Structure 1
Amino acid sequence: MSWNESRDCCRWDGVTCDLLNGHVIGLDLSCSLLSGSIHPNSSLFQLHHLHTLNLAYNDFDYPSSIPHNIGQLMNLRHLNLSWSHFSGKIPKEISYLSNLVSLDLSSFYGYGLQLDERTFETMVHNFTNLELLSLSFVNISSPMPMNVSSSLRYLDLGYTNMRGVLTESFFLPSNSLETLKLSDNDLLKGVFPKTHLSNTLLMELDISGTGISSELPHSIGTFSSLNILNLYGCQFSGSIPDSIGNLTQITELLLSYNHFTGHIPSTISKLKHLRILYLSDNSFSGEIPDVFSNLQKLRGLDLSNNSFTGPFPASILGLTHLEYLDMSSNSLSGPLPSNQSMLQKLTSVDLSYNSLNGTIPSWVFRLPLLSSVSLQHNRFRGLAEEVIKTNPTLKQLLLSNNQLSGSFPQSLVNLTNLETLGISSNNITIDEGMNITFLSLSSLFLSSCELKDFPHFLRNVNTLEVLDISNNKICGQIPNWFSGMRWDSLMFLNLSHNSLTGHLPQFHYYNLQYLDLKFNFLQGPLPSSICNMSSLILLDLSHNYFSYSVPHCLGSMALLTVLDLRRNNFTGSLPPLCVHSTSLSTIVINGNQFEGPVPVSLLKCGGLEVLDVGNNAINDTFPSWLGTLEDLQVLILKSNKFHGPISTCQTKFCFPKLRIFDLSHNDFNGSLPAKVFGNFKAMIKLEGEDTGNIKYMESMSDSPFVTSYEDSVSLVIKGNDIELQRISTIMTTIDLSSNHFEGVIPKTLKDLSSLWLLNLSRNNLRGDIPMKLGQLSMLEALDISWNRLTGKIPQELTRMNFLAFLNLSQNHLVGPIPQGPQFNTFENDSYGGNLDLCGFPLTKKCGMSDSSHVPQQLESEEEGESYFFSGFTWESVVIGYSFGLVVGTVMWSLMFKYRKPKWFVEFFDGLMPDKRSRPKKRAQRRRT
């Protein structure tokens, strides 16, 4: 408003003029809500006498580049264009400004200011007077300059993709640096200087998120001027030296997310100016020293995720300025101190995941500014007997997984402003007559308690967003008052693992995102109101008795990610899923009565990871078109009416991420297609793949309080049908058992080197066992029983060092059983039905004949005999048996009547060869 042409421009806001000649030498338009962009020919660049230009914290249009004409302002001493949405390449002309004393081009993350390596080198060379350089979030991607200007006092190159190795000389006392920020350049390596640097001027050192590592040297104590030391998320190890106590001027010490070990040195008590102490996510152990009485300026203390033991340090209660306290995920034990707390400014306390016990003292709830208390996963048995007065600031209280018992604690009733209350996994009951009023309650967790009914006080709550009353003893129908509640904000509802019966009522929670009703006794059709829940992300109705067809509207829910209907009585055809939705990642309908084909609409489920349609009555051929779904990891079609051969995909990449492939118990036929197995790239162990880090498939939740849905499947593992509650990302299985596959076992299976389970049993496979199957070094279970395999067991199979289950029974295998570390652990039933196998663990020794095995001994006899026996079929056996029964009956009658007539005996003696001559004749035939 002051920029009025009728006034002298030297009086305008943000304009500074030289008092002697009237030239404009300063222009400060920071935080002025400027928008648009700077034109290359702007009159701004005619201000040749300008010493200072500050355009920081404005809102220039994106993308808006820094004009090349910036190089015309040769007299500039101070240039600040930070945080104003500039993007693109920083012009090389900026390096012409050799008189600069300060330059700040800091950018917002992701806005893409770029500085090429040559321009950066020129700037470092030309800016000999530079004292301040801030380029945070500018993409430089250059080596770290070792010879920075000796005049530099402030250097911020955080988030710039710098690389290289820092040497000790970078920290030498001759350097005038007071502030050095190199955070989040993970390609920047080096070690901390071990040289004593008593003359250093460094006051702030931030190398967080870099690759700088090694142990923290004793020389750290020589950085006596340090106010801030930030080593967050580096690779430091070893213990903290006692010399840390020499940093008497330090205000912030951040050592979280490293590999530090040992104890906290007691010398830390000397740091009287300390305001922030973060030591979380390391491997510290031992008791926490009770030395906090001297740290009266401490505002934030984080010791979480370590291995601390012993009691809670009582001296913490005297920190009058402490605002944030986190000691979670340790092994602290014993009760909390009951003496009066001085934590009058504390807003958040987290002591969860420890072994604290006893009674929760009343001071925890009486602190005037406290908004969040997290004490879950401890061993607390009760709360203080005193009735807690209303605390208007307490918003979040988490007491789950303790040993609280009895009725709902009366001392919590007065916390009327609570927004989040968690008391799951306690022996808590809620009396119907209790007067509980939580007017602002948004999240309530009461799972795994002793509830026998829906909490009646919920009738007075209209603000719920999250409700979890799962795994209780609630039985009967869902009451009308509950289903009739108008919870317009309710997003998460979990009633699973109860004993609910009857039909599912018409819910009116139209903003619901997560609905979990699994493991109940609900029945009947799904209500039409399910179609009005257009925001559903997860729908889990598994393990109930729902019946009738599934509403087609489920295929129109644009946000639906998880659909789990397993173990119900649904009938009819599969709904056309993904007709208007492409968000589905998990579809599980196992254990119903669905019929018809697999809907082709699944082709639109571009993000589908799990498809389990097992144990239904689906009648279809192999849906090879599913191979175009590039994210599909689990495909289970078992126990249906699928038929025909396994056809190959028409696309170049087919099932590229498939890891669980189960077609068992169907009517598939034809040969096993080697080409299909060759497409299973996810079953091939790639070089550099980290198989030691086991992760599990899950659909993530955006809510920090809502448990993620974990994908689960039922597989036949080592001969047993086992339901896996979680699917690890390293589990790879192929189960084609109980079909009508023919031909040989494809040799391409050898390439699936990360395969964990292979089951080809109960088919009509022929030929030898491929010796190259021995290359499946990760295989733990192999079942190829009940086929028509011949030949010897390959010795190469003994290379399978992880093989824990083997079934080769009911084939036509011959020869000795290979011996090896794993093979020596298998018992007889792994080889049963192979009459010509020998060796351990069988009782039959190799090289010895077995007179009881007559059919095999006759193999070398005349061709006529072999041909005669090979002609037997089940039909001929039945006919012969019937005829023989009649003849035998007549003969028996004659013998009984005539007392073994001589003609009968002579007739059959003539047919049978002399017993004494049999061995001689047989030996003669063998020699021939």
Structure 2
Amino acid sequence: MMHHLCSPTEAFALLDFKQSFQISDFPRCLDVTNLQYVDIPKTKSWNESTDCCSWDGITCDLLTGHVIGLDLGCSLLNGTIHPNSSLFQLHHLHTLNLAYNDFNISSIPHSIGRLTNLRHLNLSRSYFSGKIPTEISYLSNLVSLDLSSLLVYRLQLDQTTFETILQNLTNLEVLSLYAINISSPIPVNISSSSLRYLNLEFTNLRGTFTQSFFLVPKLENLKLGANDLLKGVLPKIHPSNTTLLELDISNTGISGELTDSIGTFSSLNILNLKGCRFSGSIPDSIGNLTQIRYLDFSYNHFTGHIPSTISQLKHLTYLSLSSNSFSGELPDIFSNLQELRYLYLSNNSFIGSFPSKIVSLTHLECLDLSYNLMNGTIPSSVFSLPLLGLLWLNNNRFSGLPDELKTNPTLVRLFLSHNQLSCSFPQSLSNLTNLSILDLSSNSITVDEGNQITFPNLKVLMLSSCELKDFPHFLTNVKKLQALDISNNKIGGQIPNWFSGIRWDNLYYLNLSHNSLTGHLPKFHFHNIGYLDLKFNFLQGPLPSSVCNMNYLQSLHLSHNNFSNSIPSCLGSMSSLKVLDLRRNNFTGSLPPLCAQNTSLRTIVLNGNQFEGTLPFSLLNCSNLEVVDIRNNAINDTFPAWLGTLQQLHV
């Protein structure tokens, strides 16, 4: 006879717990602990004919046979844990993991306090709601507690329970309350001398930031981000606080100057001050953070120059100083940062030429120098960085591109708009064949039609305000286009047949506005288009009914042309259409039954035409309608007071 280590009572309790849930029909669950997808729920192996200590997710004490571990994280459980659940009969549990399941927005039962032997409790991201029971703060043996929520503020934690957790659970090493609505100040005294990891992001913390956390002797990770009601300044830190590995106070109301004592955190790997209200200059002591890998000071009010001591941070992989008020030329600090992968310096007031030392960063994957005042020629060497995938140089004063570029298989997104470039396209970029996004808008661009470039992976092409005089013929070789903007150029004549005949099955955005296009609107083959803008041209004739074959069209802008005749009645039945702008044309006839089979329309602008007759009562079906403009027509009707029943209408 097989000897069962597991007690029959506990086996029955586990099977009863299993029976209280359905298995979600969601196909897979991502187990973030092991970074792999779970397809088969752990409870599938639970069978009364086998020893429960052999079941998936179960750990037993080898001496007593008691169940001490229950790990059903990412087990596709769907249902509610009731206060009298058999789960709470497992009094010997040391570890309980129910993370990444779906408990139907139910509350955490007060009975959780009966599991007094728990060391590790993880109920994170399992769709609980309501008030966290006070009984959790009585689990005095807890070493780790994770109640993080997927739904911001769906779980609430009152101030008393919050303070009790931080003061009385003296064995607690890991505490994560991410996205729980605490709505109270940070406790002044934190007695937990064991605390190593604390995550209070998105918890609606308020009041003044104090140094109470920095007095916790073993604290390694402090995450307080996304609490905009948390005010105060970063306190001066005593030099003995050297255990901290991560400090994240991003997107809070913490302000003032960055104290010199920031340099005493010599063990820091991560420092995130993004989106705070710091001002003044960055202190030179920042160079003491020699272990730092991630440094984000973006979206603050820092001024002055980048301190040269940043060159000492040789382990940096991520550096962002974007959206501040730095000025002057970029200092020669980058050649030492050989592990740097992400460099963001956008939206400042940097001047001078492209910093040559950046091209020595062979691990660089993303470089953003946009929205500065830099000038000169962009060096060809930056396009040769072996791992560079994203390059933002837009909104500067760069005046030239190199004539030839080496083949770069990694560069997929290139933003060069709003500079002073005068170059031939695509000749100067002919070897960047893996580009998926290219933005050259607001430059002086000519098109070399003799160059048969294919750009096999190009999905987004922006050439607005580029002095173009013709449709770029190389587009015939571009097969995967999703967005095209050649607006505000000098393109005249009829839309060529080769262009209207292209079949871009994934094209969603097309903007040909503010040109000098003439003739009739052709039948496009862009059936998945969502945004079509042809305004401010000289297009004429009737609007072809084929426009109604664009089943996903949301915005149709045809204003300021010479279209005539009546508009197709099928426009009123396009289920996806939200914006219809036909103003300043020569349309005639009566208005079609708009919203006859469509309740998505939000904006209808038809002013400056020759429409006549009455307003269609079908407009009452437009429950989302916000704007109606039909002035300057020949409409003859009584005032449509009945439109007042549309609750969203405001213009």
The TM tier, using the shorter chain, reads: 0.7 to 0.9
Return the letter of the residue paired with 2:606. I
Does residue 145 (structure 1) correspond to residue 187 (structure 2)? The answer is: yes
Q: Secondary structure at the match of 2:597?
A: coil
Distance in structure 2 (CA, Å) of the matches to 1:112 and 1:386: 56
Out of 353, 369, 373, the position equivalent to 1:311 is 353
The residue number in structure 2 matching 1:479 is 496
CA 1:458–1:326 in 2, change beyond 3 Å: closer, same or farther? Answer: closer
Partner of 1:18: 61
Q: Give the SS at the match of 2:608.
A: coil
Query: How far apart, in 1, do the equivalents of 2:271 and 2:236 lie?
Result: 16
Deviations 1:442-483 (A, max 9, x none): 222233334443333333333222222333333333233332
Partner of 1:671: none
Alignment counterpart, residue 202 of structure 2, candidates 152, 159, 180? 159
Aligned partners of 2:304 and 2:404: how far apart in 1? 40
Q: Which has the larger radius of gyration?
A: 1
Once residues 546 and 385 of structure 1 are traced to their aligned partners in structure 2, the CA distance between those partners, rounded to angstroms, is: 43
Identity of aligned residues (%): 72
Counterpart for residue 388 of structure 1? 406
Matched, 1:374 2:392: yes
Measured against aligned partners, the alpha-carbon deviations of 1:507-544 in whole angstroms (never above 9, x if no partner) come to 23222211112222221111110222232222111222
| Counterpart residue number, 2:104 | 62
The one-letter code matched in structure 1 to 2:534 is: L
Q: Which amino acid aligns with 1:527?
A: P
Cα distance change on mapping 1:448 and 1:484 into 2, 3 Å: same
Q: Show CA shifts across 1:527-586 (max 9, x none).
A: 110222232222111222111112222222233222222221111223332333333333
1:579-626 Cα deviation digits (max 9, x unpaired) = 333333332222211222344443444444443323222233444444
Q: Secondary structure at the match of 1:201?
A: coil
How far is the alpha carbon of 1:256 from its aligned partner? 1.4
- The answer to whether the 8 Å contact 1:388/1:412 transfers is no
CA apart distance, 1:38: 3.8
Offset of 1:282 from its aligned partner?
1.4
Residue identity in the other structure for 1:425: S
Match of 1:512 among 529, 533, 548: 529
Q: 1:47 aligns with which of 90, 98, 102?
A: 90
Asked if the contact 2:359–2:385 (Cα under 8 Å) also holds between the matched residues in 1, the reply is no
- Contact preservation (8 Å) 1:397, 1:421: yes
2:267 to 202, 213, 225: 225
> Which residue number corresponds to residue 271 of structure 1?
313
Cα distance in 1 for partners of 2:353, 2:468 equals 34
Give the drift of 1:290.
1.0
- Which residue of structure 2 lines up, in the alignment, with residue 442 of structure 1? 459
* Equivalent residues in 2 for 1:486-497, closer than 5 Å: 486-497=503-514
Alpha carbons of structure 1 residues 631 and 364: separation in structure 2 relative to 1, 3 Å: same
Q: Aligned equivalents of 1:397 and 1:133: distance in 2?
A: 42
- Equivalent residues in 2 for 1:186-197, closer than 5 Å: 186-194=228-236, 196-197=238-239
Deviations, residues 94-126 of structure 1 (Å, cap 9, x unaligned): 233122122111121348223234433444454
Match of 2:581 in 1: 564
Q: Which residue of 1 aligns with 2:376?
A: 357
Query: More displaced, 594-603 or 538-547?
Result: 594-603
Aligned-residue offset at 1:209: 1.7
Q: 1:204 to 1:430 in 2, by over 3 A?
A: closer
Deviation at 1:175, TM superposition (A): 4.5
What TM-score, normalized by structure 2, do the two folds share?
A: 0.85
- Alignment CA distance shift 1:277-1:453 (3 Å): closer
CA offsets 1:289-342 (integer angstroms, 9 cap, x no match): 21223323333222211122233333222223333222221122xxxxxxxxxx
Task: Give the TM-score normalised by the residue count of structure 1.
Answer: 0.61
Q: Which amino acid aligns with 2:548?
A: C
Stretch deviating more after TM superposition (300-309 or 37-46)? 37-46
Question: Which of 600, 623, 629 is 1:583 aligned to?
Answer: 600
Shift of 1:74: 1.0
1:540 aligns with 2:583: no
Contact 2:442–2:463 (8 Å) recurs in 1: yes
Structure 1 letter corresponding to 2:95 = T
Larger RCO (alpha carbons 8 Å, 6+ apart): 2
Q: How does 1:240-279 map to 2 (within 5 A)?
A: 240-279=282-321
1:455 counterpart = 2:472: yes
Higher mean alpha-carbon deviation, 538-547 vs 115-124, is at: 115-124
Q: What residue number does 1:550 align with? A: 567
1:593 is aligned with what amino acid? Answer: Q
The 1:101/1:409 distance shift into structure 2, 3 A limit, reads: closer
Structure 2 counterpart of 1:17, which letter? C
Q: Does 1:615 align with 2:632?
A: yes
Contact 1:387 1:410 in 2 (8 A): no
CA contact (8 A) 1:273 1:295 kept: yes
**Deviation at 1:630?**
4.8
Distance 1:582 1:234, change over 3 A: same
**How far apart in 1 are the matches of 2:172 and 2:532?**
60
- Distance in 2 between residues matched to 1:385 and 1:463, nearest whole Å: 26
State the alpha-carbon separation in 1 of the partners of residues 336 and 389 from structure 2. 26
Asked if 2 retains the 8 angstrom alpha-carbon contact of 1:269 and 1:294, the reply is yes
Deviation digits for residues 847-897 of structure 1 (CA, Å, limit 9, x no counterpart)? xxxxxxxxxxxxxxxxxxxxxxxxxxxxxxxxxxxxxxxxxxxxxxxxxxx
* Aligned residue in 2 for 1:468: 485
Secondary structure, counterpart of 1:571 in structure 2? strand
Equivalent AA in structure 1 for residue 190 of structure 2: V
Structure 2 residue runs of 5 or longer lacking an equivalent are 1-43
CA-atom RMSD in angstroms: 2.8
Q: Does the CA-based 8 Å contact 1:150-1:175 persist in structure 2?
A: no
Letter in 2 for 1:571: T
Separation in 2, partners of 1:427, 1:329: 18
What displacement does 1:369 show?
3.0
Secondary structure in 1 aligned to 2:481? coil
The residue that corresponds to 1:423 in the other structure is: 440
How many Å separate the matches in 2 of 1:210 and 1:194?
18
Q: Hey, what does 1:788 align to over in structure 2?
A: none
- Post-superposition Cα deviations, 1:150-178, rounded to whole Å, max 9, x if no partner, equal 3223222111112222334x145464433
Structure 1: which 5+ residue stretches go unaligned?
A: 333-355, 635-928
The CA deviation at 1:184 is: 1.2
2:31 aligned residue: none
Is residue 503 from structure 1 mapped to residue 546 from structure 2 by the alignment?
no
Per the alignment, residue 280 of structure 1 pairs with: 322
Q: Can you list the C-alpha shifts for 1:63-119, whole angstroms capped at 9, x where unaligned?
A: 344333322211111212223333333233323312212211112134822323443
Q: Say if 2:121 is the partner of 1:79.
A: yes
Query: Take 1:401 and 1:408, find their aligned partners in 2: how far apart are those partners?
Result: 16
* Local SS of the residue matching 1:277: strand
Letter in 2 for 1:515: L
SS class of match (2:548): helix
Q: 1:320 to 1:428 in 2, by over 3 A?
A: closer
8 Å CA contact retained: 1:52, 1:76: yes
Q: Which residue of 1 aligns with 2:28?
A: none
Deviation per CA, 1:334-382, whole angstroms, max 9, x where unpaired? xxxxxxxxxxxxxxxxxxxxxx322x43333333333333333444454
Letter matched to residue 434 of structure 1:
N
Contact kept? 2:564, 2:588, Cα under 8 Å: yes
Match of 1:27 in 2: 70
Q: 1:357 to 1:503 in 2, by over 3 A?
A: same
Distance 1:324 1:498, change over 3 A: closer
Q: Which amino acid aligns with 1:367?
A: L
Q: In 2, are the aligned partners of 1:275 and 1:300 still within 8 Å (CA)?
A: yes
> Contact 1:173–1:200 at 8 Å: present in 2 too?
no
SS in 2 for 1:293: coil
